[in-house]
């Protein structure tokens, strides 16, 4: 997988063992193939994406239309904490 792996999967699964409500995991999801595998093999109900959608607002549409290249987000964090939320690599 390019880039980082989903990094809260382990904790989300532990939480799911203790609660009877849907659990949503977020963090490091960049690859739809890896995401599908986790979805099929874990008890986690939903996944959320943050920076990948800052990087590519059409990412879900792209994936759903068959272009399953991983997110272009490299998780540098430069879109967070500076007031304006924008991917520094997409600055026009
Ligand atoms: C611009 C930006 C703003 C965020 N604001 C919040 C926030 O207000 N509250 C929060 O709990 N997490 C916030 N986060 C963290 C995300 O919800 C998410 O947990 C984190 O970015 C990891 O997921 P990702 O790898 O999909 O980006 C923010 C992240 C970004 C990039
Ligand atoms: S600035 Fe960095 S972390 Fe933020 S969306 Fe762009 S590549 Fe991802």
pLDDT tens, position by position, 53-92: 999 999 999 999 999 999 999 999 999 877 889 999 876 5
Asked if residue 3 belongs to a domain, the reply is: no
CA-closest residue to ligand 2 atom 2: 76
Let me know: does 40 contact 46? Beta carbons within 8 Å. Answer: no
The rounded Å distance from CA 52 to ligand 2 centre is: 7
Residue 55, in any domain of the structure: yes
Is residue 36 one of the residues assigned to a domain?
Answer: yes
For the chain, what is the domain count? 1
Q: How far is the CA of 22 from the centre of ligand 1 (A)?
A: 19
The tens digit of pLDDT for each residue in 26-62 reads 999 999 998 998 889 999 999 999 999 999 999 999 9
Range of the domain at 67: 9-90
Look at residue 2 in the predicted model and tell me its pLDDT. 47
- Confirm whether 31 is domain-assigned: yes
Q: Identify whether 2 is part of a domain.
A: no
| Within a domain: 1 | no
Is 4 among the domain residues?
no
pTM > 0.85: yes or no: yes
- Examine residue 73 and state whether it is found in any structural domain, yes or no: yes
Q: What angle do CA 10, 15, 30 make, to 5 degrees?
A: 40
């Amino acid at each position: 997988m390019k880039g980082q792996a989903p990094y809260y999967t382990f904790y989300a699964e532990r939480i799911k063992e203790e609660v009877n409500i849907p659990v949503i995991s977020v963090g490091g999801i960049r690859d739809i193939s890896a995401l599908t595998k986790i979805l099929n093999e874990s008890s986690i109900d939903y996944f959320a994406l943050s920076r990948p959608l800052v990087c590519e607002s059409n990412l879900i549409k792209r994936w759903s239309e068959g272009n399953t290249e991983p997110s272009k987000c490299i998780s540098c964090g430069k879109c967070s904490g500076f007031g304006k939320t924008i991917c520094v690599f997409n600055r026009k």
